[in-house]
Amino acid sequence: MKRNRNYILLSILSITFTIEADNLLDIYNEALENDPQFKAAEYTYLSGKEIKKQGMAALLPNISLSGQTTWNEYYQLGELQNEYNSFSQAARISQPLLRLDTWFNFRRSKFLTDASEADFAFQQQNLIVRTAELYFNVLRSIDNLNAAISEEVAIKKQLDQTKQRYEVGLSAITEVQEAQLAYDVSLAAKIRREGEVFTAREALNALVGREIVSVDALVNEMRVTNPVPDSKDDWVQKGIENNFRLKAANLRTKASKNNARSAAANHLPKIDIVGSRVESETNQFSFDGIDTGSAFQITVPDETQRDNYSLQWSVPIFQGGAVNSRRKQAYADYNKSSQDALFVQRSVIQEVRSQYSNVVTLVANLRAQRQAVISATSALEATRVGYEVGTRNIVDLLQAEKNLYAAERNLANAKYDYLMSTLRLHLSAGTLDPKNLIDINSLLG
């Protein structure tokens, strides 16, 4: 829910204000409606749903109606002997009774529709990851910019103090030059960070199709834990059972197998039950005074009706080798699909194992980075005291300040890396849902 709160303004002037800010859930809900990539995936799914219906249609009765009207003229030796209008209409119904190729094609269509559903489920999960990544890229770039600004301000202050010490003879010109160099480098870094903020902001804007003015920042303190369950093999098993990319690949393999069976069944007999009714009407007359003669007299009933009921069968004997060729092609496609599914399975296993290791590593790294900030702060204070009493030089002091801001940047990046790696682990395992996003959103404020 949106509310007034302290927020980080998405601009190079990252300052705290009070305004209505967007959080991660706000952005995600907008992306559901406005992200073109996700909407395209949704329409692909809707298109895939129709494949099953089309496959089923081939097993159901086919009913057709037809009709025609014809004007007829009969001539004898160039003389018009008779003219009349005739009408006919027909109804036909056929029901496939034995068509194994059509049955296997229906099973193929069912698996393809299920694969489309699995693809869309993966895109729903992937949208969560893409939204979080773009959102955290904005926060990451802002944190890096704020650290660069703080570093520039601190070094500028140190440069001014060094110049004052030089003017009264307490510092050498080399110290002024060292401080000036450090300041120039920090200024260049700040400018580069400003560009990163604009780039990250525009990427997030493109996701939802509007300019996002502000977003909620990550709280300073957040609890980090190893994945649950704490077994890599358990997570791998989750991925094999639940990963939607793997499900889609397996379903397409089954579809390809049924397509091969359908192609192989094309040489088998096909039996249909067919019923039809044809009705015709003729309005025939002769001109007065014209003797048509018995030899040319055509007797046509005014109305006729014909009903047919048949059991029709056909067996393709030889079609130039096309049936056998299509069968070989279909089985080759099936073997390829099987290898594609095996590749996806191995990729999923690799992704799950890698993301699990990343989360475990990032938990330890995050704790280490917190300690690094504490140590860098203490080291800076000690170096500053040493510089004042003459035991440390300006280079040592500038380096200590850089170390502190680098440690703060690393800590912020470690937080975002941990959150993103956790989401990617759930994505690989197929267990990612909006609840994971809600949990992360609770860390914003």
Domain boundaries, given as residue ranges, for the chain: 4-59+99-269+315-441, 61-98+270-314
What percentage of residues in the chain have a pLDDT greater than 90?
63
246 against 294, higher pLDDT: 246
> Residue 292: pLDDT above 60?
no
Quick: pLDDT tens for 323-372: 889 999 999 999 999 999 999 999 999 999 999 999 999 999 999 999 99
> Residue 16: pLDDT above 70?
no
The answer to whether domain 4-59+99-269+315-441 and domain 61-98+270-314 are alike in fold is no
Confidence band for 254, pLDDT divided at 50, 70 and 90: very high
pLDDT of residue 14: 36
pLDDT of residue 172: 85
Quick: pLDDT tens for 168-222: 887 788 888 988 998 899 899 999 999 999 999 999 999 999 999 889 998 877 8
Quick: pLDDT tens for 21-54: 789 999 999 999 999 999 999 999 999 999 999 9
pLDDT of residue 33: 94
Confidence band for 301, pLDDT divided at 50, 70 and 90: low
- CATH class for the region spanning 4-59+99-269+315-441: mainly alpha
Say which CATH topology domain 61-98+270-314 has: Outer membrane efflux proteins (OEP) (2.20.200)
Average pLDDT over residues 221-238: 92
Average pLDDT over residues 89-96: 93
pLDDT of residue 291: 46
> Residue 102: pLDDT above 80?
yes
Q: CB count, 10 Å around CB of 237?
A: 15
302 against 397, higher pLDDT: 397
